[in-house]
Structures are given as C-alpha cells and as structure tokens.
C-alpha cells in the first residue's frame, strides 16, 4: 500500500518511541494498560452519552480500524521498550478546502513526564503536513487538564478559543479549549522547531488564564 495514501497509518520513530498502527491483536495488552491506569485516565476519557460506561476494547479498535480504512483516522499505539504505553489518534481527517484533522492522546502514568506525548504529537503533525498535505491540526483539551495544556504549550499550538459543552467526557458534556497549528506556522516541522528551542510558548496562552 502507498505509505502516503489516505487509509495508511505509518510507523514513526524517534529515539525510544515507536508509534505504529493499532492492531486487533493489541486488544489484550491495551486493555491491561487501560485497566492499570484506570483512575489516571478516567477524568479525561470520552464516554458515550447515555451509554452503559462498559468497555469494549476490541470494539473500539475495530471502530478505529474502520475509520482508518475509510481514510478518516490514523490510530497509533505508542510503544516504548516493546510495550504499549499509550495511544495517539489522528481523527476527523478532512481533505480539500478544509484539509484538517484532530489529535487525541493518552499515556500511562508510569511513563508520564518523559516527553512521549509531545514527541508523538510532533511526529504525527509533521507526517500529516508533509505527507498527507493537511493544512491544520487541532487539539481540544478540558480547561482543567494541566498536563495536556502543557503539551500544546511546549509545541506552540495556538489557542483558538473555548467550545462550551463540546465533548462527552467522564459522563458529561465538558467545555474544551481548542488549539491549532497550520502548516505555514511550522515550515521546518513541529519536532525540529521544538528540539531547536524555537517555540513561542505564549501562543497557547488563554486570555485571562495564561
Ligand atoms: C496529558 C498527557 C497525555 C501528557 O503526556 P506526557 O507524555 O506525560 O507529556 P509530557 O512528558 O510533555 O508532560 C507534560 C506535563 O505533565 C506534567 N507531568 C509530568 N509528570 C507527571 C505526572 N507523573 N503526573 C501528572 N503530571 C505530570 C508536567 O507538568 C509536564 O510538563 P513539564 O514537562 O513541563 O514538567 C498525560 O498526562 C496523560 O495521558 N494524561 C491522562 C489522559 C489525558 O489527559 N489525555 C489528554 C486528553 S486532552
């Protein structure tokens, strides 16, 4: 398959981090990590309005792979030392006049604070800009999620505004602060700009909040 074609999730590597497409056979390992880090993840987890709250990891992987096959998502698992430590999903991929996508992510608490997520966000964003030809990448975060706000700040994602009661998270509709980058803001790439210390962290500042 053409590695740059819509519907293909590439393998991206930086240092000890490998991001590759999720597979059905990851379900057991993924479920184990999700269970181990249940308390850590729950406040930030998307939920189905009116749903039972029951987990279906196989169903969720199947759904992601269906979206990937349609070319609207790239569902990565994050692998360190041969173990799955988190996920990053590029979803809502649109081409044409919009050419935009959304990023979502989590890592287990045992690897938090090592820069895994910003590295993964930078790798995925650079791939989407340079190989898929997308123009804009968006990340939406609950205003209370300080670690995730720090990720967009480190990478210089620009604050766009607050969407009220935007996504159903942890059992209710939650406000989200939205951040974005467009391709022309990062001509040398997101990873390189970050590594070279060229990020203006104030881009993510939220008026009145910092
Ligand atoms: C948000 C999240 C993905 C960040 O991932 P990460 O790989 O730890 O990212 P970083 O290493 O860049 O750390 C980001 C910030 O988290 C904070 N942090 C670091 N270690 C931490 C820990 N053990 N516990 C809580 N916060 C921690 C620090 O403020 C850090 O910023 P710093 O590097 O300037 O000190 C991760 O905390 C997570 O998965 N949280 C639960 C799920 C979630 O919130 N998903 C995102 C929804 S929008």
Q: Which residue has the higher pLDDT, 124 or 7?
A: 124
pTM exceeding the 0.95 threshold for the entire prediction: yes
Residue 75, H or E segment = strand 74-80
Q: pLDDT at position 8, please?
A: 87
Q: Does the pLDDT value for residue 53 go beyond 80?
A: no
Binding site membership of 114 for ligand 1 (Cβ less than 6 Å)? yes
| Phi-psi domain of 145 (left: phi exceeds 0; alpha: psi -120 through 50; beta: other) | beta
Question: Which domains, from first to last, does the chain contain?
Answer: 12-204 (3.40.630.30)
Backbone torsions φ then ψ of 108, nearest 5 degrees: -70, 155
In this structure, is the dihedral angle defined by the CA atoms of residues 190, 150, 195 and 123, taken in order, positive or negative?
A: negative
Binding site membership of 43 for ligand 1 (Cβ less than 6 Å)? no
Q: pLDDT at position 50, please?
A: 85
Q: Does the pLDDT value for residue 7 go beyond 80?
A: no
Binding site membership of 105 for ligand 1 (Cβ less than 6 Å)? yes
Cα dist from 59 to 42, 62, 139, whole Å = 18, 5, 24
Q: Does the pLDDT value for residue 178 go beyond 80?
A: yes
Please name which of 151, 149, 94, 91 lies closest in space to residue 120, comparing C-alpha atoms. 151
For 173-197, letters b (16+ CB in 10 Å) and e give: ebebbbbbbebebbeebbbebbeee
Binding site membership of 118 for ligand 1 (Cβ less than 6 Å)? yes
Alpha carbon nearest to ligand 1 atom 13, residue: 113
What is the distance between the terminal CA atoms of the chain, rounded to a whole angstrom?
A: 45
Q: How far is the CA of 112 from the centre of ligand 1 (A)?
A: 5
Q: pLDDT at position 208, please?
A: 80
Binding site membership of 194 for ligand 1 (Cβ less than 6 Å)? no
Classify residue 31 as exposed, middle or buried by CB count within 10 Å of its CB (0-12, 13-18, 19+): middle
Going by DSSP bridges, is the β-strand pair 100-107/83-94 parallel, antiparallel, or unpaired?
A: antiparallel
Alpha carbon nearest to ligand 1 atom 27, residue: 113
**Tens of pLDDT, residues 104-134:** 999 999 999 999 999 999 999 999 999 999 9
Binding site membership of 78 for ligand 1 (Cβ less than 6 Å)? no
Q: pLDDT at position 55, please?
A: 80
Q: pLDDT at position 210, please?
A: 52
Q: Does the pLDDT value for residue 170 go beyond 60?
A: yes
Q: What is the mean pLDDT of residues 140-155?
A: 98
Residue 68, H or E segment = helix 57-70
Q: How far is the CA of 95 from the centre of ligand 1 (A)?
A: 31
- Tokens 């999720």 correspond to 22
Q: What's the half-sphere exposure (Cβ side, CA atoms, 13 Å) at 13?
A: 5
Q: How far is the CA of 147 from the centre of ligand 1 (A)?
A: 4
Number of C-beta neighbours around residue 71 at 10 A = 14
Separation of alpha carbons 25 and 2, rounded Å: 23
Rg (CA), the chain: 16
Q: How far is the CA of 115 from the centre of ligand 1 (A)?
A: 8
């Amino acid at each position: 398959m053409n590695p740059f074609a819509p519907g293909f999730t590439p393998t991206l590597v930086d240092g000890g981090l490998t991001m590759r497409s999720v597979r059905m056979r990851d379900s057991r390992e993924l479920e184990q990590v999700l269970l181990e880090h249940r308390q850590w993840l729950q406040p930030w987890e998307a939920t189905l309005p009116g749903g039972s709250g029951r987990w279906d990891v196989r169903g969720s992987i199947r759904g992601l792979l269906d979206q990937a096959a349609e070319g609207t998502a790239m569902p990565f698992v994050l692998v360190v030392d041969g173990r799955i430590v988190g996920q990053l999903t590029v979803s809502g991929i649109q081409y044409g006049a919009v050419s935009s996508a959304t990023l979502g992510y989590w890592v287990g608490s045992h690897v938090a604070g090592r820069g895994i997520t910003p590295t993964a966000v930078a790798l995925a964003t650079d791939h989407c800009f340079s190989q898929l030809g997308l123009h804009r990448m968006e990340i939406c975060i609950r205003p209370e999620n300080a670690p995730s706000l720090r990720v967009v700040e480190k990478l210089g994602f620009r604050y766009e505004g607050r969407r009220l009661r935007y996504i159903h998270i942890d059992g209710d509709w939650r406000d989200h602060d939205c951040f974005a980058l467009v391709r022309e803001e990062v001509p040398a790439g997101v990873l390189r700009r970050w590594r070279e210390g060229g990020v203006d962290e104030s881009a993510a500042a939220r008026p009145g909040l910092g």
